[in-house]
Amino acid sequence: MNDETLQNYLHLFIKERPALIREIEEYAKENHVPIMDLLGMEHMLQFLRLIQPKKILELGAAIGYSSIRMVQELPDCQVVTIERNPPRIEKAKEYIAKTGSTHQITLIEGDALGAFELVQPHGGFDVIFIDAAKGQYKRFFELYEPLLNDDGVIISDNVLFHGEIFQTIENKRRRELVRKIKEYNEWIQSHPGYDTILFPIGDGVMVSRKKRKG
Ligand SMILES: C[S@@+](CC[C@H](N)C(=O)[O-])C[C@H]1O[C@@H](n2cnc3c(N)ncnc32)[C@H](O)[C@@H]1O
C-alpha cells in the first residue's frame, strides 16, 4: 500500500463540516493561509475528545480555524491563542465572532515569544498546541511549558515538514529550518520530563505528555 492510497482511504472517513467551517477552509485555501491539515486536525480533535481539556494554549492562531474547531468539540473548554500577523488577526476575530466562539476563545495579539506576561494569568493549561514559526518550537516549548498542568500534553504540528526532514535541501534558509525541526524532534523525544510519540498523520503531529513527578 503506498502513502497516497492510504491518504485517500483515510480521507473517505472525514465527516462533512458545518458551512461556516467550510467557509474558513475555503478562505485559507484561496488566500494561502496555512491552517492545520484536515487529517491532522481530525486526529487531534479525537484525541482532545478523549482527554477533555478545560484550558488550551495555542501558539499560532492564523485565522482562528483550529481554535474554532477545538471549542466546537469541547464546549467546556477555554482556548487562549496567539497570533502576530495583523491581517490574520482581523480575520480570526471575524470568524471567532461569526461562529459564536468569543466566550471560549481569547485571542492575544503579538509575538508568542514576547507574550508570556499576557498568557501567564490564564495558565495552567491542560494542552499546549504549538503551531507557530517552525524554527522556534524549542523556544516556545521552554517558555510556555511551566504553564502546563501536571499530566498536561504538548502537541506540536508540522514536525515532518512535508517530508522535507527526510530530504536533502538545496536552499540554505530552508535547510536551516529543517535542521531546527529535526533538532526539536530529537530533543523532545529524549526530554526526561515527557513521554513523546510522533504520529505520522497530516504533516506530522507530535504528542508529548508531561511525566508525573515522583
Ligand atoms: C500554521 S499557522 C497556524 C494555523 C492554525 N493553528 C490553524 O490550524 O488554524 C501559523 C501561524 O503562526 C503565526 N506565527 C508564527 N510565529 C509566530 C510567533 N512567534 N508569534 C505569534 N504568531 C506566530 C503565523 O503568523 C501563522 O499565522
Per-residue confidence (pLDDT) for residue 59, from 0 to 100: 98
Q: Which three cell numbers stand for residue 22?
A: 467550510
Q: Which atom of ligand 1 is nearest to the CA of 157?
A: 1
Residue type at position 94: E
Cell of 140: 516556545
Ligand 1 pocket list (CB less than 6 A): 34-36, 60, 62, 65-66, 82-85, 88, 111-113, 131-133, 136
Residue 212 Cα to chain centre, angstroms: 23
Place of cell 531546527: 180
Q: Considering only CA atoms, which residue is closest to atom 27 of ligand 1?
A: 62
pLDDT, averaged in runs of 10, over the chain (214 residues): 85 94 98 96 97 98 98 98 98 98 98 98 97 97 97 96 88 92 96 96 95 80
Residue 140's pLDDT is what? 98
- Mutational test site, ligand 1, from 131, 159, 181, 205, max ligand atoms within 8 Å of CB: 131
Say if CB 204 and CB 43 are below 8 A apart.
no
Domains and CATH numbers, the chain: 16-210 (3.40.50.150)
C-alpha of residue 206 to centroid of ligand 1, in Å: 17
Distance 50 CA to ligand 1 centre (A): 25
pLDDT for the residue numbered 212: 83
83 near 60, Cβ under 8 Å? Answer: yes
Can you tell me which atom of ligand 1 is nearest the CA of 129? 6
**pTM summary value:** 0.97
